[in-house]
Amino acid sequence: MKLPGAPHVAYRGHELFIEGCALNALARQFGTPLYVYSRSAMLESLAGYQRALAGRDHLICYAMKANSNLAVLQTFAQAGCGFDIVSGGELERVLAAGGDPSRVVFSGVGKTAAEMCQALATGVSCFNVESESELTLLSEVAQGMGRQARISLRVNPDVDPKTHPYISTGLKGNKFGVAHDRAAEIYRHAAALPGLEVVGIDCHIGSQITEIGPYLDALDRVLDLVEAVEAQGIKLHHLDLGGGLGITYTDEQPPEAETLVRSLLARIDARSHGHRKILFEPGRSLVGNAGVLLASVIYLKPGAEKNFCIVDAAMNDLMRPAMYQAWMGMAACTLRDTPPVLMDVVGPVCESGDWLGRDRSLAVQPGDAIAVLSAGAYGMSMASNYNSRGRAAEVMVSGNEAWLIRERETPAELFRGERLLPTR
């Protein structure tokens, strides 16, 4: 029996498996909390984009903020992906995982001069510039290094992606990108600045988008702008259409990646822009449904108004429910014959916001393992050490093989860089 939004997670008899590995066995071997990822699920998700783009000049840049584990990056690098980064630290991770810097695009609203120097020296493919101030600084940095920075402007098309406001990025009130109605003017300014080479245009309207319509609306506005900019004599060689495609957490029905991409390509061709290189920056849609977070039940706590299932994973391990009120699917790793009980699944962190799921019907006992589903994106990458809790271990599985790809943090590692005051 397969579970919603988890194509490689299924019950075999009474035991829950990810690919060919029993999740209970992984919990016993590696301990909990534990993130577990299916390599096959990642590659199958990527294949949808690759099929749709076959025969096109294109680059798929994995948006690594979704999950930046080195083994995850290695998997996508070996499959031919580039990377979308938003910090110098992420660039270092790409290099450590064997990624090609010439297939990296550098996004983000707050690039520092030091990060610009690092990216130029490394040879990234393109900077997705998000403000006029950034253009000025990048020009100065590139000039000082005797380099030419290839740039695209991230344009804010003011299109509603119909998603959570915290992950909407393409509206006028969002901090991202340059205003659509000023973009042609800013392109003229960029083309005149020394040390810069204008090569493309970038647009990203949000995350967890489950409809094609907002993408097509944004694309039409981008193509209008491309035509206006090129009428000024400025050539744009690539279209970067961002990412943001949603996944299934509960009953969402997002389009398949292949369907989305083919719809966008059809619109591009219909408007005579098919000669341009196409970039996509998928993140969540590649890794979200590929991962689970395993937690062990510590206590069952009946209450006057609520029953609580207290587990050893917490909001520091998985921030999405507390931050976005996100619904995450849950499943017991062993099916019991006892009747399920309605309860809130909560962690040990000292915050009322420390919950992983509310009003869940589960048949579990202390010591049982629970799998939080669709936890491959914005799980470990957003984890913290609040309450001096070490971050979880991570495991990658392929078939019936499992590899530890991140060790669990120890208390000593948490305060390794701290210093006591001198004693008198």
Q: Verify whether residue 61 is a known catalytic residue.
A: no
Question: SS3 for the chain, per residue?
Answer: CEECCEEEEEEECCEEEECCEEHHHHHHHHCCCEEEEEHHHHHHHHHHHHHHHCCCCEEEEEEHHHCCCHHHHHHHHHCCCEEEECCHHHHHHHHHCCCCHHHEEECCCCCCHHHHHHHHHHCCCEEEECCHHHHHHHHHHHHHHCCCEEEEEEEECCCCCCCCHHHECCCCCCCCCEEHHHHHHHHHHHHHCCCEEEEEEECCCECCECCCHHHHHHHHHHHHHHHHHHCCCCCCCEEECCCCECCCCCCCCCCCHHHHHHHHHHHHHHCCCCCCEEEECCCHHHHHHHEEEEEEEEEEECCCCCCEEEECCCCCCCCHHHHHCCCCCEEECECCCCCCEEEEEECCCCCCCCEEEEEEEECCCCCCEEEECCCCCCCHHHCCCHHHCCCCEEEEEECCEEEEEECCCCHHHHCCCCCCCCCC
Mean pLDDT of all residues in the chain?
94
Q: For residue 333, what pLDDT is reported?
A: 98
Q: For residue 158, what pLDDT is reported?
A: 75
- Asked if pLDDT for residue 36 goes beyond 60, the answer is yes
pTM for the model stands at 0.94
Overall average pLDDT of the 314-329 stretch? 94
Domains and their CATH numbers in the chain: 2-38+288-414 (2.40.37.10), 107-282 (3.20.20.10)
Q: For residue 167, what pLDDT is reported?
A: 42
Q: Which of 81, 117, 203, 350 is flagged as catalytic?
A: 350
Q: For residue 157, what pLDDT is reported?
A: 83
pLDDT digits (tens, 9 = 90+) for 177-188: 898 889 999 999
Q: For residue 6, what pLDDT is reported?
A: 77
Q: For residue 327, what pLDDT is reported?
A: 94
Q: For residue 161, what pLDDT is reported?
A: 54
pLDDT digits (tens, 9 = 90+) for 15-25: 999 999 999 99
Q: For residue 171, what pLDDT is reported?
A: 47
pLDDT digits (tens, 9 = 90+) for 263-313: 999 999 999 999 999 999 999 999 999 999 999 999 999 988 999 999 999
pLDDT digits (tens, 9 = 90+) for 95-111: 999 999 999 999 999 99
